[in-house]
Structure 1
Amino acid sequence: MLKTPLSRFHVIGLLEGISYLLLLAIAMPLKYILGYDLAVLIVGWIHGILFIAYFITLAHVWYVHRWPFGRVSGAAIASILPFGTFVLSAKLRLNEEISKTNNLPD
């Protein structure tokens, strides 16, 4: 599953998106409503590592697949929007399926 740069990008993107939602929806309310600072510390670190991994894998996909700058910029913006990496992943998978369908022999 993680053999290609694009498959690694999909997985890291989904994990980064989940960690971002956990940070926004669970850890931050725990900190600011209940005063439980440890939640943001733990989830924040995990999200930070995944955020960095997301950009490393994005750079690798950009290099290997020669993505245009606009697509790379869109992927970067998706990383800071809630649910952005999920939408991007679905769009990329759809593009992959369309490409496979168009390349089928007659």
Structure 2
Amino acid sequence: MSPRTLFRTVAFAEAVTWTLLLMALLLRALVPEARVAVSIAGGLHGFVFLCYVVSTCFTWVNQKWPAGRGVLALVSAAIPYATIPVEKSLDRHGLLGDIWRLGAGGEQPRGFLEKLQAGVLARPVAAIAVVLVAVAAVFSFLLFMGPPDTWFA
């Protein structure tokens, strides 16, 4: 999977889960007993959000985006459907590549983040397992904390 395919797929998934969450919120407003729909859609959206953050950072390092572009891509996940125009803009400007520059036979990594990425690309199955476990751990912790509107009450 190329950086372009990874980023586009997760950006689209983020938009889809926004739709599910907004539909669940509307359903809850109409039928208060349907609050479980918000829990399910919210949980799914939260998981995909965390995956989007990880894949955005990974693509950011690979493509050597300026800080402003990377931050914009990250912030876009907090605004419903904003990941789609951001993805389209990055693609239109040639900022989503078709190869992993730090993969086998590619550039030599420089710095901690590039070395980390090269290690991930060298052992993708193990890296995916570690990332999924880490995302699941963060997700579980957030579930334990409860809905965001109760964190500071």
TM-score range, shorter chain: 0.7 to 0.9
Q: Which has the larger radius of gyration?
A: 2
| Post-superposition offset of 1:72 | 0.7
Q: Normalising by the residue count of structure 1, what TM-score does the alignment of the two structures yield?
A: 0.81
Q: Normalising by the residue count of structure 2, what TM-score does the alignment of the two structures yield?
A: 0.57
What number of residue pairs does the alignment pair up? 95
The one-letter amino acid of 1:30's match is: L
Unaligned runs of 5+ in 1: 98-106
Which of the residues 91, 96, 100 maps onto 2:89? 91
Name the structure 1 match of 2:27.
Answer: 30
Distance (whole Å) between structure 1 residues aligned to residue 94 and residue 61 of structure 2: 18
Distance (whole Å) between structure 2 residues aligned to residue 89 and residue 61 of structure 1: 11
Unaligned runs of 5+ in 2: 96-153
> In the alignment, does 2:58 pair up with 1:60?
yes
Name whichever structure is richer in helix by fraction: 1
Aligned to 1:6, the other structure's residue is in SS state helix
Which portions of structure 1, spanning 4 or more consecutive aligned residues, are displaced by more than 6 angstroms? none
* Aligned-residue RMSD, C-alpha: 1.8
Distance (whole Å) between structure 1 residues aligned to residue 91 and residue 3 of structure 2: 14
Distance (whole Å) between structure 2 residues aligned to residue 88 and residue 10 of structure 1: 10
Structure with more relative contact order (C-alpha pairs < 8 Å, separation 6 or more): 1
